[in-house]
Structure 1
Amino acid sequence: MTMFSSYGRVLSHPGALAFCSSALVARLPASTVGLGIVLLVEHRTGSYGLAGTVSAAYVLAQAVFALVHGKLIDAFGQWRVLPVAAAGFTASLASMILSVENDWPSALTYLFAALGGSFAPQIGACVRARWSHVLTSRREVQTAYALESVIDEFVFVVGPVLVTTLATLWQPAWALALALTLGLVGTVSFAAQRHTAPPARRRSSGNDVRPPMDWAALAPLAVVGLMQGALFGVAEVATVAFADRAGSPGLSGPLLAMWALGSMVGGLVAGTLTWRRGPQVRVRVGMVALTVLMVPTILVSSTWALGAVLLVAGLAIAPTMIATLTLVELCVPAARLTEGMALIQTGLVAGVAPGAAIGGVLVDSHGPSAGFAVGVAACLLGAAAAQLLRPRRRSEADAVS
């Protein structure tokens, strides 16, 4: 257990365990809402294409407004922005559920889904900014980021199983409503813990100038996030369809959970290691590994084989994301850290939208394997973008961390 003592050290900081725990609950919608929308719409209409495009409307709006949320949070503070966002998020998606259940015009369904995405609280960016504020050691910050990646994946293990189980045994609408309720409670609890939050950095005069972003480093990272998001979007729809066509629709959640479990294990181990290479190199290697490991998803024909492939492929996800966010933390000024983290989230979420939409159309016409093929192509493009990360002379961003 001494191998994991570094996690205990970061959690022992005053207030860390409390805000980390509430953030865990707050991010449950991240792993349940997209899948919940697919299950709900497909259950009512029978179309994966329609389900994918409604989900795409949600995630596209989330991507568009993520950077706005980051700027507002940096300027006004987490405790002011997050509760308002959570309230709008819950109300909008509750209206979307009513629209689908009552067969309202599809335009309203798209509108409410997009409104929900526009209000989605940026919990992942906020909790990582909070860790960067609370901790002073660079090594501990990376350990905390690894912990958050593990928690992210834990949520993606539990969330899909929870929503698909409730949708199968109960109703998709109630499963989605429960996820929204938990997210609201967790977000309000997280925001209320003001003593560990970074200070608001609202400019007091017109002469203040925001420190510049290192766009040469951030732009390729945003593309990497975009392609990872496309993979997540198409894989979600393709996995649901794969399980359905195999005659076991209830296995879609567990299959996605296997993918997340692999990522969780990879992240857990990554947080305990002392790396010999810097985060820039780890991003490059991680994207190549993810590309190679996702290829077998195109070829498998049984749910058990798909679960095994997704488990192994997941091992590359969290370590790559940890390296990505570590590089962001090194490149972004403290006064714009939430904005920088939100930029990567914007890429991730923006990729989910076309991934889900294109995947839904191809799955309807050519089957799940075609959807997974799109995911592999997205990984390949992400690996190419990672190679474009700006080479640096010996600096903090290239140092082992």
Structure 2
Amino acid sequence: MSSATYRTLLRTPGAAAFFLTATTGRLGIAMTGLGIIWLVHDRTGSYAAAGLVTGGFAVAEALAGPQLARLIDRFGQTRVLPPVLLAHATAVVTLLTLVENGSPRGLLTAAGVLVGATIPQLGALSAARWSALLRGERAASLPTAFALESLGNGLCYLAGPALVTAVGAGSDPAYGMALATALVIGGGLALAAQRGTAPPMSGAAERKGAGRSLRRPGFAVQVGVNLCLGLYFGAMQVSVAAFAVERGAADAPLYMVSNCAGLLAGWLYGLRRWRVAPQLQLAMLSAGLAVSCLPLLVVGSLPEAGLALAFTGMAIPPILVLSSVLTAAAVERAALTQAFTWLNSASAAGSAGAAAMSGRAVDAYGAHGGFAIAAAAAVAMAVPAAVRAHTLRARRIGSGLPPRPPTR
């Protein structure tokens, strides 16, 4: 294993440029939701109003994202991104103006919806560029590229909330929103300017068949996996915070342990070429996540919880990488941006639903009740992954082909 694998990928002409610019924009995206919370609460003094506006932002982002991706698949990143980014900047300015003028909550929520509906999923656009760049003989490098994407995404969502909180606490929350928007606009425009690595536009005949590929069973399983992952994330956010509060401690160290373990696992996973079929890897990792959740049902101290969260955190990045790999294999190129965006939307929907369910479970049974919701989500993810892997293995053997060789 050698980090030269990542260096080799980034030396591919144009790869480092689009990866770094997309990651810059993703840092802004990671800051936006929390930035809205700090901004609205600072101006209104109400967490209820802040939650309402942020909820509208999150729902609109999940619903509108695939529709924007559909336009991008049809007309290309370089043509669609600039007007979308202009609309996003206008929506943020509108929200800032309404907040400063003390507008009613309904108007603030509508502005939050506009902000969410116009924010581009730059991670999906970067993944689509990797898929277009690593085709044919270079397709074996795609898991490593998606592992690199997972690392970039993890770092953004680790640093973004901390950065927007620091800017808001040190000055004015409006500056945090302005910084987040500047990163999104700057990263997005820089990505749009890189025409050489943009996926080529598809013809009418190719687009017609590509839409049907989004209904294939292989892609449906990946949507289900990401929905369950969202349920897991939403339940863990509430449960970890409740566990720390019950013991009079801060929850940040627990999140840090889980995130750092995940970043390490994702980095190591991308360094190796795995000979096990991706479907079987996904089934094994999903089952491992479900098993590693069981200690959380009985942990009683912060060190015990930290150790358990480290093991659960290590399973997440490889699962995300495999989901992207299997999606790229299941969906036609002309619908690939839509497919990656649907995965994000499924995860967001699951997270929103789990936050409400786990909140009730925590109120009734304490933090362990919320951990039970997370464990159930992990089990729900493992079942279809295992069924899909078994089906493909049986089909391969039935056709007279040998099963995949074991890993090294």
How far apart, in 2, do the equivalents of 1:318 and 1:383 lie?
Answer: 15
Give, in whole Å, the separation in 2 of the partners of 1:242 and 1:343: 32
1:362 CA displacement: 6.2
Deviations 1:14-41 (A, max 9, x none): 1111111101101113432333344555
Equivalent residue pairs, number? 394
**Secondary structure of 2:209's match?**
coil
Given residue 81 of structure 2, which amino acid in structure 1 is its aligned partner? L
In the alignment, structure 1 segments of 5+ residues that lack a partner are none
Q: 1:230 to 1:181 in 2, by over 3 A?
A: farther
| TM-score, normalised by the number of residues in structure 2 | 0.83
Name 1:162's counterpart in structure 2: 163
The two structures, once aligned, show a CA RMSD in angstroms of 3.3
Deviations 1:147-185 (A, max 9, x none): 111111111221232233334444444323322221211
1:255 deviates by 4.8
| Cα contact 1:228–1:348 (8 A) shared by 2 | yes
Aligned runs of 1:360-379 on 2, under 5 Å?
A: 370-379=369-378
Unaligned runs of 5+ in 2: none
> How far has the Cα of 1:371 moved from its partner?
4.4
- The 1:94/1:288 distance shift into structure 2, 3 A limit, reads farther
Q: Is the 8 A contact 1:52 1:359 kept in 2?
A: no
Q: Which residue of 2 aligns with 1:11?
A: 10
Corresponding residue number in structure 2 for 1:176: 177
Question: Does the CA contact (< 8 Å) of 2:327 and 2:340 recur in 1?
Answer: yes
> Matches of 2:243 and 2:167 in 1, distance apart?
19
Distance 1:66 1:308 in 2: 36
- The answer for the alignment partner of 1:118 in structure 2 is 117
* C-alpha deviation, 1:201, in angstroms: 1.7
Residues 65-144 of structure 1 mapped to structure 2, 5 A cutoff: 65-99=64-98, 103-136=102-135, 137-144=138-145
CA offset digits 1:218-237 (Å, max 9, x no partner): 11210111121233334445
Moved more, 130-139 or 296-305: 296-305
Q: What amino acid is the match of 1:176?
A: M
Q: Which residue number in structure 1 is paired with residue 195 of structure 2?
A: 194
For residues 13 and 185 of structure 1, do their structure 2 counterparts lie closer, same or farther at Cα, with a shift above 3 Å needed? Answer: same
Helix, strand or coil at the partner of 1:27: helix
Note the C-alpha offset of 1:352.
2.6
> What is the alpha-carbon distance in structure 1 between the residues aligned to residue 238 and residue 41 of structure 2?
11
Alignment check: 8 A CA contact 1:36 1:172 kept: yes
Q: Which residue does 2:309 correspond to in 1?
A: 310
Contact 1:58 1:117 in 2 (8 A): yes
Mapped to 2, the partners of 1:341 and 1:13 lie a distance apart of 22
Counterpart CA distance in 2 for 1:52 and 1:301 is 31
Asked if 1:264 is matched to 2:254, the reply is no
For residue 387 of structure 1, what is the aligned residue in structure 2? 386
Q: How far has the Cα of 1:386 moved from its partner?
A: 2.3
Tell me if structure 1 keeps the 8 A contact 2:61–2:119: yes
Contact 1:28 1:182 in 2 (8 A): yes
The residue number in structure 2 matching 1:354 is 353
2:146 matched residue in structure 1: 145
State the secondary structure of the residue aligned to 1:197: coil
Moved more, 186-195 or 155-164: 155-164
